[in-house]
Structure 1
Amino acid sequence: MDMAARVVAFIDIGTNSVRLLVVRIHPNHSYTVLTQLKQTVRLGEGEFNGHCLQPQAIDRVVFVCQQFATLARTSGAGEIITVATAATREAKNQRDFLDRLRQEANLDVRVVSGLEEARLIYLGVASGVHLGDKQALFVDIGGGSTEITIGTQHHYRYLNSLKFGAIRLTTEQLPAGDGSIATEHYERLQRYVHHNMVHVVRELHNYHIDMAIGSSGTIENLADVAARMYFKRDRHPDDVLSRAHLQQLLPVLCSLSLEERRKVPGLNPARADIIIAGAVILQTLMEALGVRSIRVTDRGLRDGLLVDYLVRQDHAPLIDEVSVRKRSVLQFGRACQFNEDHARLTAQLALSLFDSGQAAKLHRLGDWERELLEYAALLHHIGAFVNFSNYQAHTYYLIRNAELLGFDQTEIAMMATAALYHRKSLPRKKHAEFAALNKRSQQIVRRLSTLLRLAECLDRSQAGHVSHACFETLGDKRVRLNLHATQDCHIEVWSVEKHLEAFEKFEKVFERRFDIHVRYMAGEAIQAADLQESFLFTAPEPV
């Protein structure tokens, strides 16, 4: 372990669950997740009628926090950042509870306001999804409160915290007992939620909403049940929860007894008693705002604590990257100890080839494909972290299994496959990795892997001798590859020659011949050297 690295832990004491996150933060602003745990504790159970935390609930939380704190310290954590939310902030016996945590678990707990809770949840979720230029509605349904935010990738524009959550509503608005929920009780609950949400909905109508994102165990569980009920499978990472499915699901859940609900496929048995109240909150909000579907994420407040910590500790260079996607890629590359200078130069060369190739009409790809090329180039060499021999195969495996934030599964597969074919084997349909892509993705990967292969050749020595490369059109069938070199780049040109067969075989990529022109930059003197080798590139097909 790097002696300059440090381990930090984050604990979120919620109304329903306690969550732990332990990370090792490295000097290069990357971090490695060491542990993530969640334990249902029901701190808010029986509280909201008398506004006092119940002794049994306090005992459960103190015990779990003791275990989490011990695990964090055993992992080397020098700091444990702990916050508590709705159940604790509203409790009359809050001080007694916090004193026990300090004495028995050695934790100094910060109780956050509803708005601060909403801000931290926003930080945690927005840092893990790709919004681009869209503005999103963020919804988190906790046990005691519901946090709502409107925000873009980097800035929130609206924060609010509603004083009702899945446990609170179940306690206050639904009858006690293990039976089904009668229609009259369900409709009364709907009216109550709608009435208490009117002012917030009125405020939210002032904001444009491009998409909705839901966090919290309640929303995750509803999406799990919907996937099993309507798609007959487990939920996929790219699935959304539609309002139509939620509306169909609610009456089914209400018709079941508590014991029957616990057996519903996809439903966490420990959440069966509070899932209906949580579902009504989400359904009412989606209907009032005209939201047809909501994306689901497992990120939340504890992730926001980490982001907030990194910013406060001057780790902003990683946090302030252009997008969550690039930040995630750089974080992963640094965790794999990649040669960042080589990775960035390869990406720079690949993008220059992409842009000049686009101008020369060698391809018709756009911004989306360009972005995937950049990230594949940044990560193309990380497989050497495992073993240099056949490292491109290790790179493929690492990217496919990295759970990069902000990407869907198709994008991850395309980046991994483009990186796989940047050296040695060419894409063939008999290869399982290539065959797994759809036809359009295969066409794109052929082009991206060709450009990445060429860019990798142009920094073959990893010494940065070629500082710039671009295509120049010389006619209908010829294009020149112009290289700007700071030093002798014969190794790089030799590497291109070595891959001549690979470039020639791509008959469905660019149909052009090209020669190479090198400019050596030495102070103010410029020496040009033309290399006579010609290469066959293939014709652009509409993509």
Structure 2
Amino acid sequence: MRLGVLDVGSNTVHLLVVDAHPGARPLPAHSHKADLRLAQLLDDSGAIGDDGIEKLVDVVRDALQAAEDKGVEDLLPFATSAVREASNADEVLARVADETGVRLQVLSGAEEARLTFLAVRRWFGWSAGKLLVLDIGGGSLEIAFGIDEEPDAAASLPLGAGRLTAGWLPGDPPAPDDVRALRRHVRAEIARTVGEFARFGAPDHVVATSKTFKQLARIAGAARSADGLYVQRELKRESLEAWVPRLSGMTTDQRAELPGVSDGRAAQLLAGALVAEGAMDLFGVESLEICPWALREGVILRRLDHMGSA
């Protein structure tokens, strides 16, 4: 059957259409994206304003039309940290439902981490052993660890690349003092969670997902997206540590000229790099592998599992 997953994230609203059935690998059939940047549309009270809600409604309508055009039989709509943390989340959800008929399921941070972990586990299989999974989104950092399909530990921290850029790095390029302050903040937040994971022992394999990690790996020399899903892509901490001071001295336009960096993500790349560097350092990770599957695939796999057991 043809499934669609509608991901209302902090940076983008992304419709992924796949052909799938229980027991089979989901095959991508279509992708429809809109850069909405909901996290940046919050007002001083933490609410998404009327203009932002109207934009979201329009984008959801466009995604619904794309899903219909592509023959989607079952749509799985969800929202992550930007909607979850908005002070008027109930109003946003009600407006979207009333005006489009789409009822967004708001995932908790822990649910995001667990579903992303499921996708990574299915991608790498049981032979990968104990997995440590890192995922930097626009609003949050998800961390999960475990040996099964359900992680033994999962955490979500307010360390998304978009959130941190807006709140900590106003300059272009940012002031060195602002970069140092953000670095201290990131590491303090991550350090609070390290002990929760350390008690389970060392991972056998460390994996990262998300656009931020993919772009950091690409500028550090990993293969292009055009080279295909099955090319192994790694990010070494040594390479990342060398790139952080270079990124901090660049303007947004200069970062956008780097290989694999999109215009829409260039402004957030430094904050994402500081989070990635901090996580790899504090968790003692020298190298990690990039996984092409993440939260959207986890949502699809969970739906297929439920269909198979029905």
Question: Aligned residue for 2:194?
Answer: 201
Question: Aligned residue for 1:22?
Answer: 17
Displacement of 1:123 in angstroms is 1.6
Q: Deviations over 1:23-64 (max 9, x none)?
A: 344587665433233332201114285311244433333222
Question: Aligned residue for 1:248?
Answer: 242
User: Which residue identity does 1:9 align to in structure 2?
Assistant: G
Distance change (3 Å), C-alpha of 1:225 and 1:28: closer
Q: Deviations over 1:395-432 (max 9, x none)?
A: xxxxxxxxxxxxxxxxxxxxxxxxxxxxxxxxxxxxxx
Question: Aligned residue for 1:522?
Answer: none
User: Which residue identity does 2:29 align to in structure 1?
Assistant: L
Contact 1:24 1:33 in 2 (8 A): yes
Q: 2 CA distance for matches of 1:115 and 1:48? A: 26
Q: 2 CA distance for matches of 1:7 and 1:53? A: 32
Question: Aligned residue for 2:141?
Answer: 146
Which moved further from structure 2: 246-255 or 306-315? Answer: 306-315
Q: 2 CA distance for matches of 1:201 and 1:112? A: 23
Question: Aligned residue for 1:525?
Answer: none
Q: 2 CA distance for matches of 1:29 and 1:299? A: 15
Question: Aligned residue for 2:132?
Answer: 137
Question: Aligned residue for 1:307?
Answer: 301
Displacement of 1:73 in angstroms is 2.2
Distance change (3 Å), C-alpha of 1:180 and 1:29: closer
Displacement of 1:202 in angstroms is 1.8
Q: 2 CA distance for matches of 1:286 and 1:27? A: 35
Distance change (3 Å), C-alpha of 1:269 and 1:25: closer
User: Which residue identity does 1:16 align to in structure 2?
Assistant: N
Q: 1 CA distance for matches of 2:107 and 2:148? A: 23
Distance change (3 Å), C-alpha of 1:245 and 1:306: same
State the TM-score, normalized to the length of structure 1.
Answer: 0.53
Secondary structure in 2 aligned to 1:107?
Answer: coil
Distance change (3 Å), C-alpha of 1:90 and 1:192: same
- 1:242-281 mapped onto 2 (5 Å cutoff): 242-281=236-275
Question: Aligned residue for 1:44?
Answer: 39
- 1:96-135 mapped onto 2 (5 Å cutoff): 96-135=91-130
Bigger Cα Rg = 1
Determine which structure has greater relative contact order: mean sequence separation of CA pairs < 8 Å that are 6+ residues apart, divided by chain length: 2
> Structure 2: any 5+ residue segments left out of the alignment?
none
Question: Aligned residue for 2:182?
Answer: 189
Displacement of 1:95 in angstroms is 2.0
Displacement of 1:67 in angstroms is 1.5
Q: 2 CA distance for matches of 1:265 and 1:24? A: 31
Displacement of 1:111 in angstroms is 0.7
Distance change (3 Å), C-alpha of 1:169 and 1:31: closer
Displacement of 1:311 in angstroms is 1.2
Displacement of 1:113 in angstroms is 1.0
Distance change (3 Å), C-alpha of 1:56 and 1:271: farther
- 1:56-455 mapped onto 2 (5 Å cutoff): 56-152=51-147, 154-174=149-169, 176-177=170-171, 179-207=172-200, 208-227=202-221, 234=224, 237-314=231-308
> Structure 1: any 5+ residue segments left out of the alignment?
1-5, 317-543
- 1:466-505 mapped onto 2 (5 Å cutoff): none
Contact 1:80 1:107 in 2 (8 A): no
Contact 2:109 2:155 in 1 (8 A): yes
Which moved further from structure 2: 69-78 or 303-312? Answer: 69-78
Question: Aligned residue for 1:541?
Answer: none
- Percent identity of equivalent pairs: 30
Distance change (3 Å), C-alpha of 1:27 and 1:46: closer
Displacement of 1:103 in angstroms is 2.8
Q: 2 CA distance for matches of 1:166 and 1:48? A: 18
User: Which residue identity does 1:145 align to in structure 2?
Assistant: S
Which moved further from structure 2: 13-22 or 136-145? Answer: 13-22
User: Which residue identity does 1:96 align to in structure 2?
Assistant: E
User: Which residue identity does 1:257 align to in structure 2?
Assistant: T
Q: Deviations over 1:465-508 (max 9, x none)?
A: xxxxxxxxxxxxxxxxxxxxxxxxxxxxxxxxxxxxxxxxxxxx
Which moved further from structure 2: 19-28 or 104-113? Answer: 19-28
Distance change (3 Å), C-alpha of 1:142 and 1:48: farther
Q: Deviations over 1:72-92 (max 9, x none)?
A: 123332321111010111111
Contact 1:135 1:211 in 2 (8 A): yes
Contact 2:123 2:293 in 1 (8 A): yes
Structure 1 residue runs of 4+, over 6 Å off?
none
Q: 2 CA distance for matches of 1:114 and 1:269? A: 27
Q: Deviations over 1:247-282 (max 9, x none)?
A: 001111111122222222321111111111111111
Q: 1 CA distance for matches of 2:148 and 2:31? A: 25
Distance change (3 Å), C-alpha of 1:28 and 1:285: closer
User: Which residue identity does 1:170 align to in structure 2?
Assistant: T
Q: Deviations over 1:280-321 (max 9, x none)?
A: 1110011111100111122111101111101111259xxxxx
Distance change (3 Å), C-alpha of 1:313 and 1:262: same
Distance change (3 Å), C-alpha of 1:61 and 1:286: same
User: Which residue identity does 1:110 align to in structure 2?
Assistant: Q
Displacement of 1:190 in angstroms is 0.9
Distance change (3 Å), C-alpha of 1:304 and 1:26: closer
Displacement of 1:21 in angstroms is 2.1
User: Which residue identity does 2:114 align to in structure 1?
Assistant: R
